[in-house]
């Protein structure tokens, strides 16, 4: 069993913000591969899925970004998910808009949800798929930027990156982190 976590913030206020791009990818994946209705569990929304014959859980934490670790830890520990079977999808303002990057480990790079997961796990050995939403415009506060919405001109690029990220998750689930990094980075 694998666990795919899409990071975002709950509530209407945040629904279409840059910070919720992880949830956009989960919505795409759920539509394609979901086999259960969403249910409230592990301080979030959980959907069961099957990708290439592999049982997958999609988790959208509802703990707000800065407390994502609580939700992910609860699900990981309940299902006894190994580090190689966990993938976190998140936004990254250090990457250009729509760039997709897969990594097996590393720093949070300024992403507070990923930072909380790393803190709670006590390890940076967390597979992650980052989706570029940047750069932060000069003079902007990064937190205001990530909580802002995409412009009309940016939306087609975001939609394209969501599709690409969903393909990356499929490859990660079916072939592993190394193969997905080779193809998507």
Q: What is the pLDDT of residues 81-122, one digit of tens each?
A: 999 999 999 999 999 999 999 999 999 999 999 999 999 999
Catalytically annotated residues: 19
Asked if the model's pLDDT at residue 184 lies above 90, the reply is no
Q: Where are the chain's structural domains?
A: 2-184
Please compute the mean of the pLDDT values over residues 32-55 and round it to a whole number.
Answer: 97
d(CA 153, CA 32) in angstroms, rounded, equals 26
d(CA 20, CA 36) in angstroms, rounded, equals 22
Here the tokens at position 185 are 């980075």
Q: Is 126 helix (H, G, I), strand (E, B) or coil?
A: coil
Tokens 């506060």 belong to which residue?
A: 141
Count CB atoms within 10 A of the CB of residue 156. 11
Which of the following CATH numbers is that of domain 2-184: 3.40.50.2300, 3.40.50.1700, 3.40.50.1470, 3.40.50.1970? Answer: 3.40.50.1470
Task: Please report, in angstroms and rounded to a whole number, the separation of the first and last CA atoms in the chain.
Answer: 25
């Amino acid at each position: 069993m694998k666990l795919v976590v899409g990071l975002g913030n709950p509530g209407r206020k945040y629904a279409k913000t840059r910070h919720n791009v992880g949830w956009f990818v989960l919505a795409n994946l759920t539509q394609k591969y979901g086999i259960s209705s969403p249910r409230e569990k592990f301080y979030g929304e959980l959907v069961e899925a099957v990708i290439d014959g592999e049982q997958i859980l999609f988790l959208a934490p509802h703990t707000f970004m800065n407390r994502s670790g609580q939700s992910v830890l609860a699900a990981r520990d309940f299902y006894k998910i190994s580090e190689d079977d966990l993938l976190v999808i998140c936004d990254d303002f250090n990457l250009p808009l729509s760039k997709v990057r897969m990594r097996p480990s590393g720093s949070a790079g300024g992403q507070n949800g990923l930072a909380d997961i790393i803190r709670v796990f006590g390890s940076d050995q967390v597979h992650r798929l980052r989706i570029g939403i940047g750069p932060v415009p000069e003079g902007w506060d990064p937190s205001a930027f990530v909580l802002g919405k995409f412009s009309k001109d940016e939306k087609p690029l975001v939609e394209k990156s969501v599709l690409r990220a969903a393909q990356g998750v499929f490859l990660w689930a079916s072939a592993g982190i190394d193969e997905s990094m080779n193809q998507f980075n």
